[in-house]
Amino acid sequence: MRRILRAMAILVLCLTTPMWFLPAIASAETDFRTLYANFLSGQQGQNRARRAVALIDLAGDGTPELAQLSSVSGDSRTCRLTLYTVKSGEVVQMTAGDAFGFSSYTFPGVRSASFVLRATSSLTPCLSISVSGVSGGITTTTRLAFTQGASSTKLDLALFETRATRGSKAAYTVNGQSATAAQYNEAYAKFGSSYTKKGNSLPYLTFSSSTKGSQMSSGVSRLASRYKAHATASRVNLSKNSLSLGYGKSYTRKTSFSPASAIYETCSWSSSNPDIVKVNGGVLTALDTGTATITVKTSGGVKKSCKVTVDPPAATGIEISGNGHAVLLKGNLKLTAAVSPEKASQTVKWTSANSSVASVSGGVVTGKSMGTTTIRAVASNGKASTFTITVLAEELNKNGAIIDISEYNPVSDWGVLSKNVAFVILRCGVTYSASHANAGEMDSDDKFSQYARKCIENGIPFGVYYFGRATTTEKARLEAEKAYAIASKYNPLFYAYDAEASELTGASIEAFGDRLRELGVKKVGCYIAHHQYKKYGVDTSKFDFIWIPHYGANTGEVVSTPSYKCDLHQYSSVGRVKGMSDTTVDVNRLMGRKPLSFFTS
C-alpha cells in the first residue's frame, strides 16, 4: 500500500480567470485547516488506513474541497475515493447522485492514480481522475470526471468509463454500460474536446495508517500552506509587452500567471495616462493619440506593465488654406494643411508642380518667376490636396483695382470707386451679333458717355475698348472709325480692340489698330480671347499692349496665368470693388511688361 500511496494523486490544475479570491483563503484558512484536520483525525481514530489527500477548490468559493483516496479496512490494495466540502462549519461528503456511488465503488489492486483539473472554454472546472490497478491478472483503468452540481454537496458526473485488459484482450464500459473500443475512445475524445487540461499538479500529502491526530493537524496545515503558495502568482504575463492601437479602437489584454495553477488571482488595471488610453478590466480603449503605460497588478502585489502607443487615424482628406492664391516675385506665402479627421497625423509632404515658378518648403511658398503652378500636400497614407499659386510681379491692386466695365456694370458711388481703382477700361461701343435685332450695326455703349464724364469728374484714369465683329479689314477700319468718333472727345488714355468673336481674323484685328493710328491714336492695345489666340494668329508686335482673359477657377482671386505673353491679365469676372453696386465685375492685373504709368499717363 505504501508504494500505492506514494504513486498516488498527481493533481494538476490551471485556470486563467478568477474563481475565488485569495483573501478568502486567508480568512477561511484557519477554519478549513482545523475542520479537515479534526475530520481526518476522527476518521483515523475510527479506521486506521493509508490516505492520500489533496486540496482543490472545485466549487470556486474560496474554501477548497478535500479529495481523498484511502485504503479499505482489511485490504491495503483496495481503495475508495471520497470528496468532501465544508458546509455550515462541518465537513460534508459530496455525492454524485445515482450517476456514481462513492461509497459502493472501490478500486482493486490500486497501483497509481492521478487527479487533473480540466475546464471548458468558459472555464467551468472539472476534476478528472484516473485510477489504475491490477487484480486477478486483470489490469483495470478507471476514468472519472466531476463538475460542481446544483448544490455545494452535489457533483455532476462528466465521465465514467473503464478498460479491463488481460493479455491481448480488453473489455470496455462507458457510464456503466458495456462498450466497444471505438465507443470508449470516442467518449473520452468528446470529453477531452469539451474539457481541456489546465496546469500542473497540485500539492498532496500522504498519511500512513499509524499517523497520529496531532500529526494530522500539522500535516493539513503544511498542505494548506503549500496549496496557498501553489495558488498565488509569482509572475503575471501579458499577451504583448508593447502594443500599437488605432485611435478610437479597443483591445482586450490577455493575462496568464506563473505558476499556471494560480487560477484564482484577481487583477487590478491602471493607466499612466487615462486621457490617452483608458483601461477597464483589461479592455484598453484608445481615446487620444500618444503613449500610455498600462499596468496590471495581482492581488498578491505582482505587477506587469505594457507600453501602448495610440496611432493616429488614417487621413480622409486635406484642406489647404492661405492668404490668397498669389505670391509676389521673390516673396513668400505661408500655406497650412488641415488633415481630417482632426486626430489624424497633421504631417504632410509639400511639392510644387513647377518649382521654377514657385517652390515650397514646409508650406512656405516662394515666388521664383511669374506664372502659375500647383502646390500639392500629401498625407502619410497618400491622401492629397492641391492649391493653385500665381506669382505676381507686384502686389495685386497695390495702387487700386484695374477694372473694365460696360452698361451692364452699374456704379453706386464714383467717389468711393475713385479711391479703389488704379484705372478703368470703359466699353465705348459694340458691333451687334447676328442674333441681335440690329445685327451688324455699330453702336455706342449706353453708359459710355456718362461713365466717361464721371471718370473725368472724379480723376479716374481711363481707357476704352470696342467689342468688334469685323470679318474683313474694311469692316474693321469702320469699327475703328466708330470707336474714335464715340470716345475721342473724352480723350481716353488708350484704345483697345475686344477680339473674342469667332468670325474675326488676324487681318481684321490688325486693321482696327492700323486705322486708329492713322487717326492719331498713340496707344492701341488688343484684348485677345485666350481660346482664340492661336486661331487668330495676330501679329502682337503691331499693338502697344496685349490684354488676355484667363480665369482658372474664376474665384475673384488670381488663380491662373495666361499661356501667352501679355501686359494685362483679366483674371476673373467675379471680382468685387468698393464703389460698384453689389454686383461682380471684371478685374485685371499687370503682368510686368508695362508699368502702371503706361496705362495712366
Task: For residues 488 and 576, give the distance between their C-alpha atoms in angstroms, rounded to a whole number.
Answer: 29
The sign one gets for the Cα dihedral 53, 57, 59, 62 is positive
**348-369 pLDDT, tens per residue?**
999 999 999 999 999 999 999 9
> Given a cut of 80, is residue 213 above it in pLDDT?
no
Q: What share of the chain is helix, strand, coil (3-state, %, to 5)?
A: 20, 40, 35
- Delineate the domains of the chain, giving CATH numbers in brackets: 2-230 (no CATH), 235-311 (2.60.40.1080), 317-392 (2.60.40.1080), 401-600 (3.20.20.80)
With vertex at residue 359, the alpha carbon angle to CA 356 and CA 361, rounded to the nearest 5 degrees, is 160
**30-45 pLDDT, tens per residue?**
589 899 999 998 888 8
pLDDT average, residue stretch 167-182: 94
Residue 66 dihedral angles phi and psi, to the nearest 5°: -110, 120
**215-235 pLDDT, tens per residue?**
888 888 898 888 888 777 788
**242-254 pLDDT, tens per residue?**
889 988 899 888 8
Task: For residues 442 and 485, give the distance between their C-alpha atoms in angstroms, rounded to a whole number.
Answer: 11
* Among 416, 398, 457, CA closest to 578: 416
**463-496 pLDDT, tens per residue?**
999 999 999 999 999 999 999 999 999 999 999 9
> Given a cut of 50, is residue 525 above it in pLDDT?
yes
Strand ranges for 441-511 from DSSP E:
442-444, 462-467, 495-499
- Give 222 or 28, the one with higher predicted confidence: 222
pLDDT average, residue stretch 147-160: 92
pLDDT average, residue stretch 117-136: 86
Lowest-confidence pick of 21-25, 142-146, 165-169, 378-382: 21-25
Beta-bridged to residue 69, according to DSSP, are 52, 81
Q: Residue 122 burial by CB count (10 A; 0-12/13-18/19+): exposed, middle or buried?
A: exposed
The pLDDT assigned to 475 comes to: 97
Q: For strand 65-72 and strand 51-56, is the pairing parallel, antiparallel, or unpaired?
A: antiparallel
Please tell me the pTM assigned to this model.
Answer: 0.56
Percent of the chain with pLDDT over 70: 94
> Given a cut of 90, is residue 118 above it in pLDDT?
no
**Cα distances (Å, whole numbers) of residue 314 to 79, 248, 362, 385, 405:** 68, 12, 21, 15, 49
pLDDT confidence band for 6 (50 / 70 / 90): very low
Q: Residue 362 burial by CB count (10 A; 0-12/13-18/19+): exposed, middle or buried?
A: exposed
Q: Residue 98 burial by CB count (10 A; 0-12/13-18/19+): exposed, middle or buried?
A: exposed
Gyration radius from the chain CA atoms: 50
> Given a cut of 70, is residue 408 above it in pLDDT?
yes
* Among 449, 464, 490, CA closest to 404: 464
DSSP 182-205: HHHHHHHHHHHHHSEE-SEEEPEE
pLDDT confidence band for 72 (50 / 70 / 90): confident
**549-599 pLDDT, tens per residue?**
999 999 999 999 999 999 999 999 999 999 998 889 999 999 867 889 999
Task: For residues 261 and 232, give the distance between their C-alpha atoms in angstroms, rounded to a whole number.
Answer: 8
- Average pLDDT in the chain: 88
Task: For residues 81 and 135, give the distance between their C-alpha atoms in angstroms, rounded to a whole number.
Answer: 18
- Give 209 or 484, the one with higher predicted confidence: 484
In 3-state terms, what secondary structure has residue 448?
helix
